[in-house]
Amino acid sequence: MADYSFELSERDIHVWVLRITASHTLASQFEPILSADELDRAKRFRFEHLQQSFAITRGALRHLLGRYLGVAPHSIQFRYGLRGKPAVASATGIEFNITHSENLALVALTVKCPIGIDIERIRPIQDMQSVAERFFSADESREILSLPVDDRELAFFSCWARKEAYIKAIGHGLHVGLDSFRVTVRPNEAARLVHVTDEPNAPDEWSLEDFHLSPQYTAALAYRDRKRSVFVLPEINPDELVHR
């Protein structure tokens, strides 16, 4: 693993890209640093590979936070918001969020700023029109469906990632309807919060940014501040965090 700076200025966001490959051997290296609550959550997954992926992802998160905070990974304690969003229990100033899609996980870290991140694999969607009309705002679904057919999948998943990132940043999870706010959706159009029901100032208070890790994935960040410097770090395997 290359030598990276584990220092965050107040204007920086670091995004770590983790290649998660479920294995009993790797999961067993991370399980000793997990809390009893995390081990219990891992066991709730029905399939073993999902249990292993959770343990690896959560263990990798602990290692990264430990580097930034200068503490042992196992010593980190988490608190959870009303809707389950995790945060470091002590007053460190560090804010983080994590997302996972198939074999990729992303961890976003910054300071003194609520943040959310989401990644989506771009894939064919059966009956895209009904899915968009069910979950997105009327303006978003109309705009996506007005695009050329070849542009719709990217627009659909870019829209989804932007909206999920915002919901995760505010910590409300599924308790906020995806149709209660609007984001930009057109390809090559800057990610932006357009409108939030009952919060007219939100578009001026929040920043949205997206990035494409490969042709198969799209990802988005949401944070409550003007634009910060976003550093997407090279992809690593979680075992590099253990053996470094």
Task: Give the pLDDT score at 160.
Answer: 95
Taking residue 17's Cβ as centre, other Cβ atoms within 10 Å add up to 17
CA atoms of 181 and 208, how far apart (whole Å): 13
Do 12-113+230-243 and 120-214 agree at the fold level? yes
Task: Give the pLDDT score at 212.
Answer: 83
CA dihedral 136, 134, 220, 45 (to 10 degrees): 160
Q: Which CATH class is domain 120-214?
A: alpha beta
Spell out, as residue ranges, where the chain has pLDDT lower than 70. Answer: 1-4, 173-175, 244
- The residue ranges of every structural domain in the chain are 12-113+230-243, 120-214
Beta-sheet strands, E only, within the chain: 12-19, 78-80, 86-88, 94-101, 104-111, 115-121, 181-183, 193-196, 207-214, 217-223, 229-232
Bridge partners (DSSP) listed for residue 95: 110
Task: Give the pLDDT score at 2.
Answer: 55
Task: Give the pLDDT score at 175.
Answer: 65
Three-class SS state of 74: helix
Which CATH code is given to the segment(s) 12-113+230-243?
A: 3.90.470.20
Task: Give the pLDDT score at 91.
Answer: 81
Q: How far are the Cα atoms of 14, 34, 100, 106, 222 from residue 64, in angstroms, in the given order?
A: 11, 13, 16, 12, 20
Task: Give the pLDDT score at 187.
Answer: 79
Task: Give the pLDDT score at 83.
Answer: 75
